[in-house]
Amino acid sequence: MGKVRRLLRPEDLGMAWAIKEVTVPIGGGGVGVTFSKSDFGFDRAIECVVSVRIAGMDPDVTDVMEPVCPAVGTTLGAEVVGLTVGAGTGTTLTVMMLAMGE
């Protein structure tokens, strides 16, 4: 019988996802979003932002810009991380961020 392998989960590596919803106004544009250490359940700090993505939108639009987060891949030790999302028309975006922390 072969070895049983268990896949690593983000929480095994001290990582967690946080989700926020943000509304882009009817005329479109960029909107700032902030994630705090408590959004991830971290006690001390956000050490590194691993990934940021748009997980959904309501209503669906085709002109959503990629999230702009200068903190991705850098060592932070911060309590709050900010990023910018946006669209050419009004919608509600669901933004997901994966971060390492403690």
Domain locations along the chain: 15-63+74-101
Q: Which pLDDT belongs to residue 1?
A: 58
Using one digit for the tens of pLDDT, what is the confidence trace for 30-69? 999 999 999 999 999 999 999 999 999 999 988 898 888 8
Q: How far is CA 8 from CA 5, 13, 35, 84, 98, in A?
A: 9, 8, 24, 30, 15
The confidence score (pLDDT) of residue 3 equals 76
Q: Please, are residues 63 and 27 in contact by the beta-carbon 8 Å criterion? A: no
Instruction: Name the band, by pLDDT with cuts 50, 70 and 90, for residue 85.
Output: very high
% of the chain exceeding 70 in pLDDT: 96
Structure tokens at 23: 């509304």
